[in-house]
Amino acid sequence: MSAPAEEPVVQAEAAAAEAPAAAAKRPAEEAPAAAAGSAKRPKPAKKEEEAAAALPEPDNGDVEALAAGTSGCSFLLTCPQRREKAALRAAMELLKPHLPADCVVSALKLLTAGSVLLRCTPPLAGRAAVAAAAAVLDTTVAVQEDCARMLPVCHSLAVTTEALREAAQKLTAAQLAAEPLAEGAAFVFAVSHHARGCEKDLVGELLGRGESIKAVASGVEAACAAAGVASKVSLSAPAWALCMEVVPVACGANGKKVSPVALITLLPQRLLVTKPRLGIRSLREAA
């Protein structure tokens, strides 16, 4: 997603002309400071870059926990570049009414700009994360400019065929157990795959898109077979979608070590869009 155009820098002459009017509208003690500061303002983009850099970066322990599925990461935020901090603030405010009272949320910066992981302590179960994201989408009526999408994370894992298949099988089996299908009905699903910046940094090391989708689909089919129900793929009208995001996580000195981590979730149809590509609904559209 491309970044929005930066606001033009306010020129000193224009700011000086506006200063008296601005000072008149403020309390007397604030007027001198307003007039002094209006002549020279930092570029908004610079502030946003500094804010994004302030987000904590993962260490080796974080990478290992993400690959093992024990990190507690429950949401992936996507936003315009250099707006990570603003997206974090917006997401925290939107999520607060829908999380347990004892839930503490922290952020983890990813190597790819425009992406932030939210980690919950104590860890939030995958179905609870999906329910929280659904509540946000159902109750948010104002268009969100900073936070474009909020994807709940059911599992984080290493990007391997075995790990993807196992995660998909567990998610599908849990859904079929929680909400059994009517007799004779099929589990209609689709799989989405999106790699955020991984191709550039991990060429030759990353499991391909087709292989990843095939691994996830085989896990779904295995769970359905075990439950005695049929499975069917529908890209245009899936009842369920297994959404997979592969993100590069950097750690070590100067972020030299880069590891790909997969984030996967199972979403119901009402939270999905199928065009321009399959994924969770955007927060940039009013509910």
Find how far residue 249's CA is from the centre of its chain: 14
Read off the amino acid at residue 59. D
pLDDT of residue 206: 72
The average pLDDT across 80-101 equals: 92
By CB neighbour count within 10 A (0-12 exposed, 13-18 middle, 19+ buried), where does 57 fall? middle
Question: Which of 48-57, 85-94, 190-199, 237-246 is the least confident region?
Answer: 48-57
Band of residue 15 on the pLDDT scale cut at 50, 70, 90:
very low
More confident residue, 136 or 41: 136
Q: Around 220, how many Cα atoms within 13 Å sit in the side-chain half-sphere?
A: 23
Question: Which of 188-192, 220-224, 252-256, 260-264 is the least confident region?
Answer: 252-256
Band of residue 62 on the pLDDT scale cut at 50, 70, 90:
confident
Question: Which of 137-146, 213-222, 223-232, 233-242 is the least confident region?
Answer: 137-146
The average pLDDT across 19-47 equals: 42
The average pLDDT across 52-56 equals: 54
Question: Which of 16-30, 146-160, 183-197 is the least confident region?
Answer: 16-30
pLDDT of residue 1: 43
Q: Is the pTM of this model over 0.85?
A: no
- Overall size of the chain counted in residues: 287
Please state which CATH number belongs to domain 52-280.
Answer: 3.30.2130.30
Give the Cα separation of 126 and 156 in Å (integer): 10
Band of residue 3 on the pLDDT scale cut at 50, 70, 90:
very low
Question: Which of 37-51, 195-209, 228-242 is the least confident region?
Answer: 37-51
Give the Cα separation of 88 and 82 in Å (integer): 12
More confident residue, 93 or 109: 93
Given a cut of 80, is residue 92 above it in pLDDT? yes
